[in-house]
Amino acid sequence: MPIYAFACDACGHSFDRLQKLSDADPTECPACAAQGKVHRQLTAPQFRLAGGGWYETDFKKDGDKKRNLAGEGGEGAKPAADAKPAAKSEAAPAAKPAAS
């Protein structure tokens, strides 16, 4: 069950409540007993996803190749070690004039 944060507009009291998604939000403040002044607060998640990306599966056998789902060139994706930089296109050298 998720934990929700609530605040009372009447007295400013903040409190948390463990409740089901289907449960109704509280209407009475536990500190001042004001009716209809309690509202749900928007809170940040308590975890952060960090790293180079998500893999197709992290539970493959040792012989299987992992594939990065973040994609090449995406944020956090690292270029392959054997990747070669794009070759510059050079114009063909001009033909030497024939000696007369």
Low-confidence residues of the chain, pLDDT below 70? 50-100
pLDDT value for 16: 94
Global pTM reads 0.46
Q: Residue 81's Cα: distance from chain center in Å?
A: 26
pLDDT value for 2: 86
Q: Which of 37, 48, 41 is nearest to 15 (CA)?
A: 41
